[in-house]
Structure 1
Amino acid sequence: MLINKKRIAFLGCGNMVQALFPNWHKLDPTAQFFTYTPSETKALEFAHIIGGKAVKSLFDLPPCDIYVFGFKPQTLHKVFADFKPTNKEAIGVSLLAAVTFSELEEASGLKSLYRLMPNTPSLVGEGMMGVCSKNIPDHANAYFEHIFNGLSKTIELETEEELDTITPYSGSGPAYFFEIARIMAHDCIERGIEPQIARKLVAQTLLGAGKMLVEASEPPAKLRDNVTSKGGVTAAVLNSLKDQGLEKIFVEAISAGHNRLSELKKNSKV
């Protein structure tokens, strides 16, 4: 059962944990935080960020109210091979892609669980996170709603299948835009523009376009058409992309992501 002064344990403190959770202590100033990683390096680093304590062993953890699973999905059974949370009423919060509630419960022994699919823009206050839950007690809902909405923009999903479906779009999506930015900035630099200027041009263009997508009522195709004059520069670029099969390339690439997700699901059961 959650008590007023919560104890929260982070099992794994990698990039996604550090992107999503660095402000949890500000949203709940009374909480006590504990961090663990096998090498201890990132545990110490993240403990410093959130004002917590790094432990050298899982068995050094006190009974906690919340356990955040931030390790690699394929290490689930290794992490819980000997260690099990002693507080069976604790709530598990999982960042593990493709690992189901049933697998999480079987491995950890916890029955109250969240699965999250966040993304790294949470680090700058612009994250998008899918949230799916199982057996969360009523008294805990308000707390987690406060925490999750304070860390990222959120969408609550009814099923695990929906959470898995959004993974290659919002979860992995920032990487695609970073790759587009890299290509555009590199080409701009190759044509004589200073690197700092090229990066700023491309970054602000992506930021502005993203803001228009969020705030405008028009669909993306209409926003695209609003930029495109017949016979102009934009039309020439878009026609070239169409001729080279950009949409097909993207759809097949995202399908590869879904296929990989299916493989991870199979591997997590081994």
Structure 2
Amino acid sequence: MNDNRVAFIGAGNMARCVIAAMVKAGYPQENIMAANRSQPKLTELATDFGIHTSLSNAKAANWADVIVLAVKPQMMQEVCLQLLAEDPECVDKLFVTLAAGLPVARYEEWLGQVRLVRAMPNTPSLVALGVTGLYPNRCSNYEKAFVDHMFSGTGMTVWLNEEQQINSIIAVTGSAPAYFFYFMQAMQQKAEQLGFSAVEAKAMVAQTALGAATMALQSEQSFAELRAQVTSKGGTTHEAISSFTTAGLEEVVATAMQAAINRAEEMAKSI
């Protein structure tokens, strides 16, 4: 499978995450290309990962066996129509899109009935601890296997049975690193108020988060059961958890996740 040439149209953060994960997992650099309108990001990718680069989307698409659309949703129509105009045969190749909010139907309006996988990785993919949701359209078993192989270096892959689940996985994993960073930021700020240095506070909070996540992954117990083990009645943790409960933490989290889903649905309608 490493013989397939993969071209990334767009050189932003998510493209960088996936490219980094592929190279780290052993995918040949000579079989990866990134295309972008401007040179600086391409220079960084070439320097950091040894991949091919191009200022021409059409050149990259023509070179590739698999085309990864990694531009912002609002730019996607222009990019797809340009590809179709400059390289009509590209529609016979496998497409993978990293854009949130755009359903398969949009791509079929712009490109025709292409073989396409909608992919929704998250940023921890950069350190091989990510989660990528995948939804296939008109793909063969081999093409699904290749896409799974392509994202294997990012961490966990989850194949979805219904396209609408892409919006759900955005809320559960795609946007979720920011939720945890926000919570960790709040903990760091309080730790600094308690007298710890910024470096100490960040390290302690991050290490605790890593330890808790590792314990959860290695345990068959639910999150609720793991929390209960740390929460002695009448103790300090019990008081902290009670404060979260009084503040309506579960409702706040649920509302935030639904807001992410709603925004993804709005984006699909507005483009």
- Tell me the TM-score normalised to structure 2 length: 0.91
Residue aligning to 1:55:
54
- Pairing 1:205–2:208 present: yes
Distance in 2, matches of 1:41 and 1:30, equals 19
Question: Which stretches of structure 1, 4 residues or longer, exceed 4 Å deviation after superposition?
Answer: none
SS in 1 for 2:158: strand
Residue aligning to 1:35:
34
CA-atom RMSD in angstroms: 2.0
- Give the share of equivalent positions with the same residue, in percent: 32
Residue aligning to 2:242:
239
Question: 1:174 offset after TM fit, Å?
Answer: 0.6
Aligned residue identity for 1:156? W
- Pairing 1:129–2:128 present: no
Distance in 2, matches of 1:183 and 1:257, equals 21
**Which shows bigger deviation, 133-142 or 190-199?**
133-142
Distance in 2, matches of 1:225 and 1:100, equals 41
Check the 8 A contact 2:83/2:90 in 1, yes or no.
Answer: no
Check the 8 A contact 1:118/1:130 in 2, yes or no.
Answer: yes
Question: 1:119 offset after TM fit, Å?
Answer: 0.7
Check the 8 A contact 2:69/2:97 in 1, yes or no.
Answer: yes
Aligned residue identity for 2:42? A
Determine which structure has the larger helix proportion and give its number: 2
Residue aligning to 2:261:
258
Q: Deviations over 1:54-78 (max 9, x none)?
A: 2122233334211111100111111
Aligned residue identity for 2:19? F
Match runs of 1:97-136 below 5 Å: 97-109=100-112, 111-136=114-139
Check the 8 A contact 2:129/2:154 in 1, yes or no.
Answer: no
Distance in 2, matches of 1:221 and 1:23, equals 32
Distance in 2, matches of 1:194 and 1:9, equals 44
- Tell me the TM-score normalised to structure 1 length: 0.91
Question: 1:83 offset after TM fit, Å?
Answer: 2.3
SS in 1 for 2:68: strand
Q: Deviations over 1:107-157 (max 9, x none)?
A: 234611111111111111111111111122233343333222233211111
Residue aligning to 2:20:
22
Match of 1:170 among 162, 168, 173: 173
Residue aligning to 1:6:
4
Distance in 2, matches of 1:65 and 1:192, equals 56
**Which shows bigger deviation, 208-217 or 20-29?**
20-29
Q: How many residues align?
A: 266
What residue ranges of structure 2 are gaps of 5+ in the alignment? none
* Aligned CA distance change for structure 1 residues 248 and 151 (closer, same or farther; 3 Å): closer
* Aligned CA distance change for structure 1 residues 38 and 171 (closer, same or farther; 3 Å): same
